[in-house]
Amino acid sequence: MATFSSVTRRHVLAALAEHDERGAEEFLALYGFTPSGGVLQHEGRGYDARAVLGVAHRYATGRLATAEEFHGDLQAVEILRRRGFEVTEPPSARRTAARTTTPRTRASAPRTSGPTPARRAAAAREAAPALCPTCSMTLPATGVCDFCA
C-alpha cells in the first residue's frame, strides 16, 4: 500500500518533466497506467493525475505506486491539490458525489476551482528533501543514498 506523505511538489514536477519528455502514451504504457479521468493542469497542459502521482511516488521513495494502490481517482486529485496543483475530478466522481451529497451540504460547502491561497502558501513553504545527486532519490536520514552508496 502506497503512502504519499513523502511526495512533494518537487517530485510531481519531476514526474511532469518525464511525462513531457516521453509523451503521454509512452509514459502511461511504461508505468502500466490507463487513463484515469482526473486531469492535472500545469502550464497549459493536461496530465493524467493518477499516473503522474504514481511516478512522483517513485521519485520520492524509489518505488512506483501502481494503479491498484489508489483508492479511486479522487485520492490522486486530493493529494495533488494539497501540493498546490490544479486538478479536475473525473466526470464519474462528480456524478457519484452529486448523488451522495444532500442539497444542504452542497449549499453550505461550495466547490472551489483550485487550491486556496493558504494551501498554495503551505505548498510553497514545504521544505524540499535532500536528493541524491546521482539518481535523484530522496536521501535517508543518514544522508547516504541506499542505491548509489
Q: How many domains does the chain have?
A: 1
pTM attached to this predicted model: 0.61
Query: Does a structural domain hold residue 146?
Result: no
Residue 104 lies in a domain: yes
pLDDT of residue 138: 78
**Is 98 within a domain?**
yes
Q: Would 139 be classed as within a structural domain?
A: no
What torsion do the CA atoms of 23, 25, 31, 35 make, to the nearest 10 degrees?
A: 120
Residue 78, in any domain of the structure: yes
What's the pLDDT score for residue 38? 86
By three-state DSSP, how is residue 50 classified? helix
Q: Is residue 86 part of a domain?
A: yes
Per-position b or e across 114-127, b if 16+ CB within 10 A of its CB: ebeeeeeeebeeee
Residue 17 belongs to domain spanning: 9-125
Instruction: Tell me the per-residue pLDDT of 121-138, one tens digit each, with 9 for 90 and over.
Output: 666 666 667 778 787 777
Tell me: the pLDDT tens digits for 72-96? 778 888 899 999 999 988 665 544 4
Domain assignment present for 59: yes
Decide: residue 88, CB within 10 A, 0-12 exposed, 13-18 middle, 19+ buried: middle
Helices (H), 23-65: 24-31, 49-61
